[in-house]
Amino acid sequence: MYGSIVPPSASARTDTRLSSLPDAASPVLCAPLRREELRDLVRTQRALVRARGQAVVREGDRADRFFVLNSGAVALQRSLPDGRRQVLDFLWRGDVIGVGDGERFGYDALTLADTALCTVSRPDLERLTEDYPELATRLARIGSERLTHAFDRMTLLGRLSAEEKLASFLLELSERQGRCSGRSNPVWVPMSATDIADYLGLRVETVSRRTSAFQKKGLIRRVESHRIALLDPAALREVAEGGEGDED
Amino acid sequence: MYGSIVPPSASARTDTRLSSLPDAASPVLCAPLRREELRDLVRTQRALVRARGQAVVREGDRADRFFVLNSGAVALQRSLPDGRRQVLDFLWRGDVIGVGDGERFGYDALTLADTALCTVSRPDLERLTEDYPELATRLARIGSERLTHAFDRMTLLGRLSAEEKLASFLLELSERQGRCSGRSNPVWVPMSATDIADYLGLRVETVSRRTSAFQKKGLIRRVESHRIALLDPAALREVAEGGEGDED
DNA sequence: CGGCGGATTGAGCCAAATCAAGACTGGTGG
DNA sequence: CCACCAGTCTTGATTTGGCTCAATCCGCCG
């Protein structure tokens, strides 16, 4: 969107050595796994790093592995034969690829920035859930949250205006980054305007125009490369909920 | 849409006596449960019937029960404060409400026609999954299918034209009814045009216009009350996939 | 410094929304 | 049995939000 892709604070350290994982509390702050579970995981997991724009999984791949994001960002997406694209979700540190999926992945997963993840085979995870029943519960919760989020997204895509969509998107980014990394206000926006458009069911130009309009109204401010400050989250919330949009 | 709501073949027989359930193969043809599982279920399940337009669950209700549809049809939906509505899914005989949900339901479930369902409490179902581990697998599969379907729907809502949406909808109805009741061609359309519009992210008038256009092109024909014959499913498929739409 | 890909901005257009009548349907009561 | 009523569907006229097309502009990188 504006500037080069630089992770918010984690710097370029990719942090892929698995041995460092269980001790480091931070990289898995909102991951679904706990220390003792991770300790067992380490035996079977593999770490991997993907540069920006690489595929982690492809639609149709056998879903025989799970992935947990340590850093970076990933987009889940579907592509139509004629090139149209729908971004299904953006994934952040601690998010998981493969939970709640069936036999095969139903989407491509592409990195939006340099990304470090670790991966566990499905049989290994199944074995783990037997040793740690609470883990199964946690995974089920993740699945249900994904579904609830999918319902949110359908409502957004089907019924919100461009302005409402963009406001919702910014607030979602903020909320989600607050949960995962603690810093929710100058929001990290690693994805391109095209990615955002494909997430919201809009075109790039519309995203650009609405972003400019928000900035002109003083609701947001572009602070640096790929970062946006929410100057008036309350007003943004108002816009997102369908408030007239004429009160400035 | 046109005419009164009459279930496709099942007539008005509501079939709610639970004692009849385990023996009758037909009402649960595509249900996730098997005979022996159902036999145990019968001890704890309750049957209920809802007239057209009734709520089965409300958004925010504690998700402490599961529901299985025996007959009829249900819409899952979200409502925005200003009255806008998004239909998340239509449910048919054999479909389940509550699988993959978290602590609380994230949607209203309303009947589109007179509907018979049975319900099991969550603890009872959990007990059952211990006795029949395969049932847990089946429920997981249902959950993953719901998620995949949610991804389909996002793509439809975000990226398809009105014409493509409607064609996809008709084919989905046909496919789903084929799986559940065996009869896939004259499709049963129990929901109102408004419901369809809210499912596809369109307005009623647009649904009506596009339906008329399909009929004029000879792709479909309204055969009777709430039933539509797909005269040329291949052409409909072509339209749904983004075929130009000018070949008639 | 110059070129390239993505972002922005402008002008005009078009698909779907909106507004506004009617027509049909099913249900009700006389 | 029919007339009427309410709700839904259909069709037409018009508006409009977001798309398309087309220049730039800007930041990044070689």
> Strand C closer than 7 Å to the CB of B224?
no
Characterize B127-155 residue by residue with b for buried, 16 or more Cβ atoms within 10 angstroms of its Cβ, and e for exposed.
Answer: ebbeebeebeebbbebbbebbbbbbebbb
Residues of B with CB under 8 A from a CB of A: 78, 80-82, 84-86, 88, 100-102, 106-107, 141, 143-148, 150-151, 153-155, 157-159, 198, 200-201, 241-242
CA dist B222 and B74 (Å) reads: 22
- Interchain CB contacts (distance < 8 Å): A and B: 98
Q: Give pLDDT, residue A133.
A: 84
DSSP A59: T
DSSP A182: S
The nucleotides of chain C lying under 7 Å from a protein CB are 6-11, 15-20, 25-27
Q: What's the pLDDT band for A129 if we cut at 50, 70, 90?
A: confident
**pTM of the predicted model, to two decimals?**
0.88
Nearest by CB: B201 against A146, A159, A241: A159
CA dist B78 and B107 (Å) reads: 5
Higher pLDDT, B27 or A51: A51
Q: Give pLDDT, residue B148.
A: 96
Q: Which of B51, B55, B53, B48 is nearest to B70 (CA)?
A: B48
Q: Give pLDDT, residue B92.
A: 93
User: For residue B49, what are its two tokens?
Assistant: 């019937």
Q: Average model confidence (pLDDT) for chain A?
A: 84
CA dist A55 and A50 (Å) reads: 8
Q: Evaluate if residue A20 carries a pLDDT over 80.
A: no
Q: Evaluate if residue A19 carries a pLDDT over 50.
A: no
Q: Evaluate if residue A6 carries a pLDDT over 80.
A: no
pLDDT tens for A215-224 read 999 999 999 8
DSSP A180: H
Q: Which residues contact B66 (CB under 8 A, 6 or more apart)?
A: B96, B97, B98, B99, B119, B120, B121, B122, B125
Nearest by CB: B86 against A81, A146, A155: A155
Q: Kindly determine whether residue A100 and residue B100, on different chains, have CB atoms separated by under 8 Å.
A: yes
The one-digit pLDDT tens for each residue of chain B (248 residues) are 555 554 444 433 333 323 233 333 334 434 555 566 666 666 667 888 998 889 999 999 999 999 999 999 999 999 999 999 999 999 999 899 998 898 999 999 999 999 999 999 998 888 888 888 888 888 999 999 999 999 999 999 999 999 999 999 999 999 999 987 788 889 999 999 999 999 999 999 999 999 999 999 999 999 988 999 999 999 999 999 987 654 43
Q: H-type helices in chain B, by residue range?
A: 35-44, 122-131, 133-159, 162-181, 193-200, 204-216, 233-240
